[in-house]
Amino acid sequence: MERSLHRQLKERYGVAIGGRSEVVVGGFRVDALAPDGRLVEIQSSPLGLLKGKLSRLLPDHSIDVIKPVIVSRRVIQRKTPDGADLSSRRSPKRGLFVDAFEELVGLARLFPHPNLRIELLAVEIDEIRVARRRRPGFVVVDRTLRAVGESIRLEQAGDLWTLLPEGLGERFSTEDLARKVGRSTRFAQQITYCLRHSGAADVVAKVGNRRIYARSETVLSGSV
């Protein structure tokens, strides 16, 4: 079942700006068609699920993939999905743009592409929950859009660096990267996988079993 968040963003990038929602192109249903003819896919689910569709459509169509990043959520408890609100609270969970690397790995062999743009969109949402007996004790029945914040558009390999904090150093290992972003080594490996396969970074040395990475020459020269 389509969540409200998906429907609201579909309208925002389609009908609300003079385009259309729900179009069929090349045998695939696409979320929206922008006024300039670009296809728009809203993807709240993992980005990797779009790989097959994008592989088929990108050779002949320009596509914008909109990935909402939930930076703030208000949790609302109800007895039934359409019932009255029983309580609400702010969730301590806050998404960051760097989190997108966890999903960008699913499109690492497609990005960059001259017909592909990925827009990471900061959103604030209400998350509607209904209690149930099984763990975790509730089910999320809907997510609705409350506010839209800043966005980052990824078009070229070098754009991936905008998701990372400054001061990483000219050369770094996955361990260095993990410490810099405050995440696990596994997450840092996902980042370096995206950087390397996109052409944003190269392996420039090896110390023991550790690969050492640096920005690629093409990124440094501004070519990508």
Dihedral over alpha carbons 176, 181, 186, 190 (to 10 degrees): -100
Flag whether 80 is in a domain. yes
Q: Are residues 76 and 140 in the same domain?
A: yes
**Residue 86 belongs to a domain:** yes
CA distance to 42, 166, 171, 224, per residue, from 202 (Å): 31, 18, 10, 13
Same domain, 126 and 176: no
160 is a domain residue: no
Residue range(s) defining the domain that contains residue 145: 4-155
What is the domain count for the chain?
Answer: 2
Angle (CA) 8 120 160, round 5°: 170
Final residue belonging to a domain, choices 126, 155, 184: 155
Residues 133 and 176 in one domain: no
- Give the integer Cα–Cα distance in Å for 180 and 168: 7
Nearby residues of 193 by Cβ (< 8 Å), 6 or more positions away: 105, 108
Q: Is 104 left (phi over 0), alpha (psi -120 to 50) or beta?
A: alpha
Residues 85 and 174 in one domain: no
Structure-token pair, residue 184 = 């696990």
Question: Do 148 and 215 fall within a single domain?
Answer: no
Question: What contacts 114, CB < 8 A, 6 or more positions away?
Answer: none
pTM (predicted TM-score): 0.91
Q: Is the dihedral of CA 111, 116, 121, 127 positive or negative?
A: negative
Tokens of 205: 């040395």
Closest CA to 200 of 222, 186, 219: 219
Q: Is the domain of 187 the same as that of 147? A: no
Cα angle 114, 118, 120; round to 5: 160
Q: What is the CATH number of the domain that holds 218?
A: 1.10.10.10
What is the phi/psi pair of residue 111, to 5°?
-105, 135
Per-residue pLDDT of the chain (224 residues; tens, 9 = 90+): 678 999 999 999 999 999 999 999 999 999 999 999 999 999 998 999 999 999 999 999 999 999 999 999 999 999 999 999 999 999 998 999 999 999 999 999 999 999 999 999 999 999 999 998 888 889 999 999 999 999 999 999 999 999 999 888 899 999 999 999 999 999 999 999 999 999 999 999 998 889 999 999 877 766 66
